Amino acid sequence: MTNHGHLLLTPAIRGAPSRLMQALGRRYVQYANRTYRRSGSLWEGRYKSSVVQAESYLPACMRDIELNPVRTAMVADPGGYRWSSYRANGLGQLDTRLTPHSAYLGLDVGFASCCAAYRALFRPQLDADAASDVRQALRLGMPLGSERFAEAICARLGIRRNTGKRGRTHADDPCR
């Protein structure tokens, strides 16, 4: 992508993604400002994140991210985008920066079979509802998963669940 990036991370340590983004922001901004003789902030706003229920929504997120360059007509195939993990996940090319997720490895037995199963996910375009769910969760900073999963994550974090719909839910309505 020319104006943004997507990372799908499974942190080993709580808070690691925010610390990664903070460090990246500090180091890369300094580099860009020195290199291009500029000053100030490089990015607009803060990064957006969402917790994803791996068992059921990870493949949809992976497809959405890796099909972004195809949707924007930057490339004809997700493997053609230089910064995509599709080459590793779908084509089996070694990338030491990536660690295969257990949900990816669970697609089939054996690494070659995982690659073939992953490529099969890309045959049908990501359906509009799944793509919309992924983008809405990211936009709202809400968990992506089943209702039960999302409610549990919000309760654990002590935040109110935002579904993106305006107005009260029936549970919140004191008149019901």
Read off the pLDDT band of 136 (50, 70, 90). confident
**Distances, alpha carbon 22 to alpha carbons 3, 29, 38, 41, in Å:** 18, 11, 20, 13
Structure token digits, residue 57 = 């929504």
Average pLDDT, rounded, for the chain: 83
Both tokens of 158, joined, read 């002590």
**Count of all residues that appear for the chain in the document:** 176
pLDDT at residue number 26: 85
d(CA 140, CA 126): 21
Closest CA to 25 of 9, 2, 10, 45: 45
CA-to-CA dists, residue 83 to 97, 107, 112, angstroms: 12, 23, 21
Closest C-alpha to 59, from 128, 146, 117: 117
Stronger pLDDT, 9 or 124, i.e. the higher one: 9
Tokens 């920066």 map to which residue?
97
User: What mean pLDDT comes out for the span 79-83?
Assistant: 91
**pLDDT value of residue 167:** 59
